[in-house]
Amino acid sequence: MRLYSLVVYVFLYAPIAIIALFSFNAGRHASDFQGFSVQWYGRALNNPFVMDALETSLIVAFITATLASILGTLAAVGLQGLRGPARAIFDALIYIAVMIPGIVIGIATLIALVTVFDVMNPWIENLWGDAEGAPRLSMGRGSLIAAHTMFTMALVIIIVRARLGTLEKSLGEASADLYATPLGTFRQVTLPLIAPAVLAGFLLSFTFSFDDFIIAFFVAGSETTLPIYIFSSIRRGVTPEINAIGTMVMLASLLLLIVAQLILRRGDRK
């Protein structure tokens, strides 16, 4: 049994180790190792395309995670007190958002937004009066953030609601009995108690958005995110540079995970 577990762990980590190993390859060719070098890390960090893609990915992931945790937390709190058909419809939408494959979300958003933009752009030009200088709606960071936020917000609602469900109702009642306003109760009682869940939702949203390839592939327009850059590079052949980028991305995710664990642990102890 122990041996079996060991084999599974090797299976899980060998591919990651191979990428890390080949990122230090001195040679140009990806698959035979010709000596140790860190030159590909330098190349990757000095490649303007990589840096642009990284910047786009970080901005999109940060805005997505911020919006998703705020909107999701508000909705989770609002849904607590809501009953009836509105609640049922909202719940159904959340589950549809989570269940529908990312690829369908991607194509649906693409055709809907492109069609709506095609209708709206002439209107905007008319309103603007000047066809040249009028702002044009197009696929890009905005549509990507909107699509990512929709999906990750649904995740945040599920996570925060699970936490809210475990809270004692009497806490809120006690707070109200002591003349706290609803906002005061939320800020001083509810929010500190659900904070770990909100933070978990934020990190999950950030990681999802940063790693997502398939939705971005459809809705990012002319923008290139890091996963899109990596995918199109692999199509042209795996290089040590891509391995260096992959290793850095995996290390960053690992650090984020460790930091999150530490924060969550501290929150639990309080």
Partner 1 sequence: MTQRARNWLLIAPSGALLLVMLVLPLSFVFVFSFGERGPSGGYVPAFTLEQYANLPARWTAFKNTLILAPLGTLAALLIAYPLAYQLAVRTSPKWKTLLLVLVIVPFWTSILIRSYAWIYILGGQGIPALLGSIGIENVRLIYTPFAVTIGIIYGYLPLMVFPIYVALDRLDMRLLEASSDLGARPATTFLRVTLPLSVPGVATGCMLVFILLMGEFLIPALLGGGKVFFVGNALVDLFLQSRNWAYGSAVAFTLIVIMLITVTIYMRLIARLQTGREDVAVM
Residues in region 99-158 near partner 1 by CB under 8 A: 99-105, 107-113, 115, 146-147, 149-150, 153-154, 157
Contact, 66 vs 202, CB < 8 A? yes
Residue closer to partner 1 by CB (options 97, 180) is 97
Q: How far is the CB of 199 from partner 1 (least distance, A)?
A: 15
Q: Which DSSP category does 212 fall into?
A: -
Q: What phi and psi values does residue 65 have, to the nearest 5 degrees?
A: -65, -40
Nearest to 249 by CA among 106, 41, 99, 64: 41
78 sits near partner 1 (criterion: CB under 8 A): yes
Range 12-71, binding partner 1 (CB under 8 A): 12-16, 18-19, 22, 30-32, 71
* Total residues binding partner 1 (CB under 8 A): 75
Mapped to the 3 state alphabet, what secondary structure does 106-132 carry?
Answer: HHHHHHHHHHHHHHHHHHHHHHHCCCC
Token pair listed for 46: 């000095």
Q: How far is the CB of 263 from partner 1 (least distance, A)?
A: 15
Nearest to 55 by CA among 93, 47, 218: 47
Nearest to 38 by CA among 255, 251, 240, 267: 240
Q: How far is the CB of 226 from partner 1 (least distance, A)?
A: 9
Residue closer to partner 1 by CB (options 51, 100) is 100
Q: How far is the CB of 42 from partner 1 (least distance, A)?
A: 20
Q: How far is the CB of 117 from partner 1 (least distance, A)?
A: 13
75 sits near partner 1 (criterion: CB under 8 A): yes
48-56, 95-103, 161-169, 192-200 -> range binding partner 1 (CB under 8 A)? 95-103
196 sits near partner 1 (criterion: CB under 8 A): no
Contact string (CB under 8 A) for partner 1, positions 201-240, x = contact: ------x---x-xx--xx--------x--xx--x---x--
Residue closer to partner 1 by CB (options 131, 252) is 252
**Which position among 10, 131, 191, 250 is part of the footprint of partner 1 (CB under 8 A)?**
250
35-43, 45-53, 166-174, 241-249 -> range binding partner 1 (CB under 8 A)? 241-249
CA–CA gap between residue 4 and residue 8 (Å, rounded): 6
Helices 102-128 and 141-166: crossing angle in degrees, nearest 10, is 130
Q: Which DSSP category does 25 fall into?
A: B
Residue closer to partner 1 by CB (options 126, 261) is 261
CA–CA gap between residue 180 and residue 221 (Å, rounded): 48
Torsion sign, CA atoms 81, 151, 187, 263: positive
